[in-house]
Structure 1
Amino acid sequence: MLDADLRNQLKAYLEKVTQPIELVASLDNGDKSRELEALLKDIASLSGKIGYIRADDDARKPSFAINRVGADVSVRFAGIPMGHEFTSLVLALLQVGGHPSKASQDVIEQVRNLQGSGPDGVLRFETYFSLSCQNCPDVVQALNLMSVLNPNIQHVAIDGALFQDEVEARQVMAVPTVYLNGELFDSGRMSLEQIVARLDTGAADREAGKIKAKSAFDVLVIGGGPAGAAAAIYAARKGIRTGIAAERFGGQVLDTMAIENFISVEHTEGPKMATALEQHVRHYDVDIMNLQRAQKLIPASEPGGLIEVQLANGASLKSRSVVISTGARWRQMNVPGEDQFRNKGVAYCPHCDGPLFKGKRVAVIGGGNSGVEAAIDLTGIVSHVTLIEFDSQLRADDVLQRKLRSLDNVTVVTSGQTTEVIGDGQKVTALVYRDRIGGDSHRVELEGVFVQIGLLPNSEWLKGTLALSPRGEIEVDHYGRTSVPGVFAAGDVTTVPYKQIVIAMGEGSKAALSAFDHLIRTSAPVEVAAVEMA
């Protein structure tokens, strides 16, 4: 199963295992069971602290547990965790084997104190993933770690492509999808902190209390994507008090599959880059406040005064300058049925959810690069793709259009306006579009709809406070200044053209430098001013 390079890398990692572990397999006579057994034996051969046995004691086959010998610590996978989940496998081996997690001590203590509300107090999680999903590993790794830290938590990660009967029975149409004690818990990317916050009902109030007690910042960055990370780093390097509040650190980069145009890096993946961004910010003296959504901006009441940002949890932050970098999100069709059948056939990530539609009929909405790339990717998985573009012609690059038209299981519809998503109450069954030229409506029988129609700036909370373009983007000048003194903006939320990671980083750096220039031309830094007033 493992090539020589991967074996050598894994062997080096497994040297960090300090406590003996055992791989316990449940197999049948299928090809996938043979593949899994070969993988597990391969892993066991790389370390004297790892053993392998076949027990066939689990209903899901192929599956296996990673157990700490002599302790109630275990992680289970149903399937073969390769692809994006190979990292999840490696981390599970290390953590069950006693290697400490890099999670913050506060979060670790939160996890250890969690307990279920049922009679036995156990939280039983099941996560459905696909090997091509870049969002799934965060969820799988978070729940695996929780099951290692707390004996009241159990987790099994399930490859939906191998257990189609379960996927069909539970109507799982998006990954990752998580069940808790047999009931749907949530679907989509979640961090360890987000999962713990859902389970620890008092966490939000405690965090709000901590935020309220914070003193004012010199530079406060709102948003944790490439622009926000760059702004925080550039501000912190000036030696001034810097904070960053983000709804999710990494932003839309977390939803990006492959990045091949970030100069000097030939290839990387979004989640990997997001982790690197956060690690780089943490290298500096930056107060990072994650899982915080900005709700209102209150400009300073006088020149050089403090700007206030109110958060959704009721707390407020104050700062002498603010850099807004809240980015953008996938644009929705806003048609009947879209919200009702989200994650029940309506999806926004073909890489993540495509494998769940194997052999089925799907539509892709949008004829730009993203839409055509999605259609091309899906043709290798699904039985048929109908691509619907509002314009009279596709807008994707010529090379992509040629590739698309060379495929025999694609129908391209131009001048088509999607008007409704239809379902049976449980899942999508059809889509209706209107011919913008002839006016006729057409119904397409299908099981999935992938929406790829561009981005919408995350700026609703700023309406009436800052000058926004007709598209909702924050209007900025070439210094990153907004219409409000002391407030700067950068990245995909602004009017700067070309929504690219490398551009967002440059704009974030520029905004921070402009904020610093603003500070030195107004009053003294917050901490100095506080000393003088004392």
Structure 2
Amino acid sequence: MLDDNLKAQLKSYLERVTKPFEITASLDDSKGAVEMRGLLEDIIALSDKITLKTDGTDARKPSFSLNRIGSDMSLRFAAIPMGHEFTSLVLALLWTGGHPPKVEPGVIESIQALDGDFNFEVYMSLSCHNCPDVVQALTLMSVFNPKIKTVIIDGALYQDEVNAREIMAVPSIYLNGSHFGSGRMTVEEIVTKLDTGAGDKDAARLSAKEAFDVLVVGGGPAGAAAAVYAARKGIRTGIAAERFGGQVNDTMAIENFISVLETDGPKFAMGLDAHVKAYGVDVMNLQRGDKLIPAATPGGLVEVQLANGGSLKSKTVIVTTGARWRNVNVPGEQEYKNKGVAYCPHCDGPLFKGKRVAVIGGGNSGVEAAIDLAGLVAHVTLIEFGDTLRADAVLVKKLHSLPNVTVHVSAQTTELTGDGNKLNGLTYTDRTSGQSQHIELEGCFVQIGLVPNTEWLKGTLELSKHGEIIVDNRGQTSVPGVFAAGDATTVPFKQIIIAAGDGAKAALGAFDHLIRSAPAAVAA
């Protein structure tokens, strides 16, 4: 099952296992069971602390559980965790075997403090780059709290379950039989959602922090670069991020960040996080800005009020809140989101294997999505409002070469239709003839660009007509001491490398502002 290179890597990892445990497999005669048995036999051959039993009686076959000797932990994989999930498997083996996770001690304490019966089922796909965060979070929770039981299910392997529950987006999480959440979630987010008092405690903890010299709000490439450049000046730096890595987490392939030949979004985001933490930056995750209050006097403190009720103060603030997927804003979009309406073809595409889907948007992202999906689904219909596709010529040529793709230009999407439970079609108006057309389908991927995350700044900072923060050539906004960088600003060309450079520039601008202010402005 594993090639020699993977076996060598896995063997080196498994040398860190200190506590014996067993793997119990529930198998049948399927092809998946044969592959699973091969994988598990490869694993136990690499460590004398892991044993394999194949007499499991779980109803989901094939599947396997990890069981630490003398422990009541409950963790099951109804999946053959390769692809994006191979790392999740490795971590599950290490944590079950006693190797400590690389998380803050407070996170483990919060997991262990959870009281109740928590039976999680998480549906994922092996091509989903958002899924590993959720899989690894629930794995960690199951290892450290015996009251938390987790089953990780490959939607492609258990298509009947996916259809029965009408799951059309992954990761999709169920708790005690009821839907708990969809999309990327960190362990902190899940714990906070389970612990109803966590928000108030977190708000009080944040409000008690002393003022920063530079506070970055937003954790994408611009925010990470700003934090690193500020911290390197030896000043007190904090970064408050709703989701560290931002939109980068949803990017499949990155091939144009100079000096990095090729990587993927989640891996790039992990690198940003590691670089920031290497400089001792105070990283505050799961924090969303709610209101910006300018300094009352020159050289005073700027306040950022957070959505959880907490508050942070700083001598300067750099806003790097980035952007999010733009909605098509037609009837049915919100009703059928995650019920056929999706935004990430890499994550959710496998759920539509053999089905009919549409892609709205004829730019690079839309055409790339249509090309990718054409290899999985029965048919792709691409809908573009303009009279021509806006993607690069090489992508357009590839698109038109595919036999199961239909392209409609000068087409305005007017409605996404459904039966009340899931999407069943798309209605558009032919802008040339004025006639309305309806397409029957099971999925629709919206790929029409981004909208800046700046609603919370309206009335405080000067924004463009598109909602972007207006900045000068140093990143300074209309409010003294408040800077901005990246996709949330008027800086043209929304690219990762540009956002990173923009963040560095804003940090240098903020530092220059500090040293030109009152002598006491920079912390000792």
TM-score interval, smaller chain:
over 0.9
Residue 273, structure 1, aligned to residue 268, structure 2? yes
> Residues of 2 paired with 1:499 and 1:51: CA distance?
51
Per the alignment, do residues 527 and 517 of structure 1 end up closer, same or farther by CA in structure 2, a change over 3 Å counting? closer
What corresponds to 2:163 in structure 1? 168
Q: How far apart are the structure 2 equivalents of 1:70 and 1:516?
A: 55
Please give the alpha-carbon distance, in whole angstroms, between the structure 2 residues aligned to 1:417 and 1:87: 42
Q: Distance in 2 between the 1:471 and 1:331 partners?
A: 12
Whichever residue aligns with residue 362 of structure 2, its letter is G
What is the rounded CA distance, in whole Å, between the counterparts of 1:39 and 1:271 in structure 2? 25
Q: Which residue of 2 aligns with 1:446?
A: 441
Report if the CA contact (8 A) 1:66-1:75 is conserved: yes
User: What does 1:139-150 correspond to in 2, within 5 Å?
Assistant: 139-150=134-145
Alpha-carbon offset, residue 302 of structure 1: 2.0
Structure 1 residue 526, shift from structure 2 partner: 5.0
Report the alpha carbon displacement of residue 524 of structure 1 after superposing the two structures with TM. 3.0
Match in the other structure for 1:210: 205
> Residue 521 of structure 1 corresponds to which residue in structure 2?
516
Is the Cα contact below 8 Å between 1:68 and 1:74 reproduced in 2? no
Of the three residues 110, 113, 120, the one matched with 1:125 is 120
Q: CA deviation at 1:99?
A: 0.5
Pairing partner for 2:146 from 147, 151, 175: 151
Distance 2:115 2:169 in 1: 28
Residue in 2 that maps onto 1:532? none
Give matches, 1:349-498, under 5 Å.
349-498=344-493
Tell me if the contact between 1:519 and 1:525 (Cα under 8 Å) persists in the aligned partners: no
TM-score where L is the length of structure 2:
0.99
Q: Which residue of 2 aligns with 1:296?
A: 291
Tell me, yes or no, if the aligned pair for 2:515 and 2:522 is still in contact at 8 Å.
no
**Could you say if the C-alpha distance between residues 408 and 319 of structure 1 is closer, same or farther in structure 2, counting changes exceeding 3 Å?**
same
- Write out per-residue CA displacement over residues 438-478 of structure 1, whole angstroms, 9 at most, x where no aligned residue: 11111100000000000000011111111111111111111
**Percent of pairs identical after alignment?**
68
Name which of structure 1's ranges 343-352 and 520-529 shifts more when overlaid on structure 2.
Answer: 520-529
AA aligned opposite 1:458: N
Shift of 1:182: 0.4
Q: Which shows bigger deviation, 312-321 or 343-352?
A: 312-321
**Residue 92 of structure 2 contacts residue 139 of structure 2 at CA under 8 Å; is this kept in 1?**
yes
Match of 2:69 in 1: 69
Find the residue that maps to 1:48 and give its secondary structure: coil
Is contact 1:366–1:387 with CA below 8 Å preserved after alignment? Answer: yes
User: Distance in 2 between the 1:127 and 1:296 partners?
Assistant: 35
Deviations 1:117-146 (A, max 9, x none): xxxxx2000000000000000000000110
Please give the alpha-carbon distance, in whole angstroms, between the structure 1 residues aligned to 2:407 and 2:520. 59
Please name the residue that 1:104 is paired with: 104
1:157 positional shift: 0.4
Deviations 1:413-443 (A, max 9, x none): 0011111111111100111011111111111
Whole-angstrom CA distance in 2 between matches of 1:389 and 1:208: 45
Structure 1 counterpart of 2:343, which letter? Y
2:231 to 216, 233, 236: 236
Q: Residue 219 in 1 paired to residue 214 in 2?
A: yes
Q: 1:311-366 CA distances to partner (integer Å, 9 max, x unpaired)? A: 11122211111100000000000111000000000000000000000111000000
Q: Which residue of 2 aligns with 1:84?
A: 84
8 Å Cα contact 1:217/1:526 also seen in 2: no
Q: Distance in 2 between matches of 1:315 and 1:146?
A: 26
Aligned 8 A contact 2:74 2:148 in 1: no
Q: 2:49 matched to which residue of 1?
A: 49
Rounded Cα–Cα distance in structure 2 between residues aligned with 1:126 and 1:525:
54
Shift of 1:527: 6.9
Shift of 1:514: 0.4
What amino acid maps onto 1:29 in structure 2?
A: D
Letter in 2 for 1:18: T
Structure 1 residue 82: deviation in Å? Answer: 0.4
Q: CA 1:65 to 1:245, structure 2 compared with 1: closer, same or farther past 3 Å?
A: same
Q: Distance in 1 between matches of 2:341 and 2:125?
A: 17
Change in Cα spacing, 1:164 to 1:525, as seen in structure 2 (3 Å) is: farther
Q: Cα offset for 1:100?
A: 0.7
Q: Runs of at least 4 residues of structure 1 off by over 2 A?
A: 524-529
Aligned-pair distance for 1:69? 2.1
Distance in structure 1 (CA, Å) of the matches to 2:280 and 2:433: 61
Does 1:34 find its partner at 2:34? yes
Check if 1:187 corresponds to 2:182.
yes
User: Are residues 73 and 525 of structure 1, via their aligned partners in 2, closer, same or farther at CA, if it must alter by over 3 Å?
Assistant: farther
1:492 match: secondary structure: helix
Q: Give the Cα–Cα distance (whole angstroms) in 2 for the partners of residues 196 and 145 of structure 1.
A: 11
Residue of structure 2 equivalent to 1:200: 195
**Rounded Cα–Cα distance in structure 2 between residues aligned with 1:93 and 1:424:** 43
* 8 A Cα contact 1:324 1:487, kept in partner: yes
Q: How many angstroms apart in 1 are the aligned matches of 2:143 and 2:132?
A: 16
Q: Which amino acid aligns with 1:487?
A: V
Contact 2:515/2:521 (<8 A) preserved: no
With over 3 angstroms needed to count, the CA separation of the structure-2 counterparts of 1:52 and 1:469, relative to structure 1, is same
Contact 1:88 1:137 in 2 (8 A): yes
1-structure distance, mates of 2:11, 2:209? 45
Deviations 1:195-251 (A, max 9, x none): 000001111100100111112111110001110011111111111111111111111
3-state SS of the aligned residue for 2:122? strand
Normalised by the size of structure 1, how large is the TM-score? 0.97
For residue 323 of structure 1, what is the aligned residue in structure 2?
Answer: 318
Q: State the aligned residue count.
A: 524
Q: CA deviation at 1:481?
A: 1.1
Partner of 1:119: none
Which residue number corresponds to residue 177 of structure 1? Answer: 172
Unpaired runs of 5+ residues, structure 2, are: none
Structure 1, gaps ≥5 residues long: 117-121, 530-534
Structure 2 distance, partners of 1:269, 1:364, is 22
CA distance, structure 1, for counterparts of residue 430 and residue 523 of structure 2: 65
Q: Report if aligned partners of 1:82, 1:131 keep a CA contact under 8 Å in 2.
A: yes
Contact 1:479 1:514 in 2 (8 A): yes
Distance (Å, rounded) in 2 between the aligned partners of 1:314 and 1:146: 27
Q: In the superposition, relative to structure 1, how do residues 73 and 111 fare at CA in structure 2: closer, same or farther (>3 Å)?
A: same
Q: Deviations over 1:480-528 (max 9, x none)?
A: 1111111111011111111111111111011000000000101234575
Q: Deviations over 1:136-192 (max 9, x none)?
A: 000000001100000000001000001111001101000000000000000000001
Shift of 1:56: 3.6
